[in-house]
Amino acid sequence: MEITHSPIPGGVVLHLAGRLDQDSAPALEPRVLAALPENGVLVLDLAKLRYCSSAGLRVLLVAVKQAATNRARFGLAAVQPAVAEVLESTGVDKVVPSFASAAQAAAALG
């Protein structure tokens, strides 16, 4: 998996590309937790993420919990159909807000 970032007012967007699975989730989790600012915004841009396993879902749920602790706002952007199906079938889509684009997510969460 490739992870890049870009700053937004009050936070950061992490852009994920490739597969979020048992091999890549351990590398992503500390990056997500480190990027969650106190009272800020973290957006995961999934435009180039083509697969998400249960290990990836766990990272998202850990991020939701840490965001609450940090009083941060956390959301997903540009979720692709294959990943959206996994989020919907597990109910994760009910606990993590999703937006059409990273810019829309940053505006809504900021």
**Model pLDDT for residues 57-102, shown as the tens digit of each residue:** 999 999 999 999 999 999 999 999 999 999 999 999 999 999 999 9
Q: How confident is residue 110, by pLDDT bands cut at 50, 70 and 90?
A: confident
Give the mean model confidence (pLDDT) for residues 41-45: 98
Report the pLDDT value the prediction gives residue 45, as an integer from 0 to 100: 98
Decide yes or no: CATH 3.30.750.24 for domain 2-82: yes
Let me know how many helices (H) and strands (E) the chain has, helices first: 4, 5
Domain ranges of the chain: 2-82
* Separation of alpha carbons 94 and 51, rounded Å: 19
pTM above 0.85, yes or no: yes
Residue 11 makes CB contacts below 8 A (sequence gap 6+) with: 35, 37, 40, 41, 42, 43, 72, 73, 106, 109, 110
Q: State the sign of the Cα–Cα–Cα–Cα dihedral 23, 29, 34, 35.
A: positive
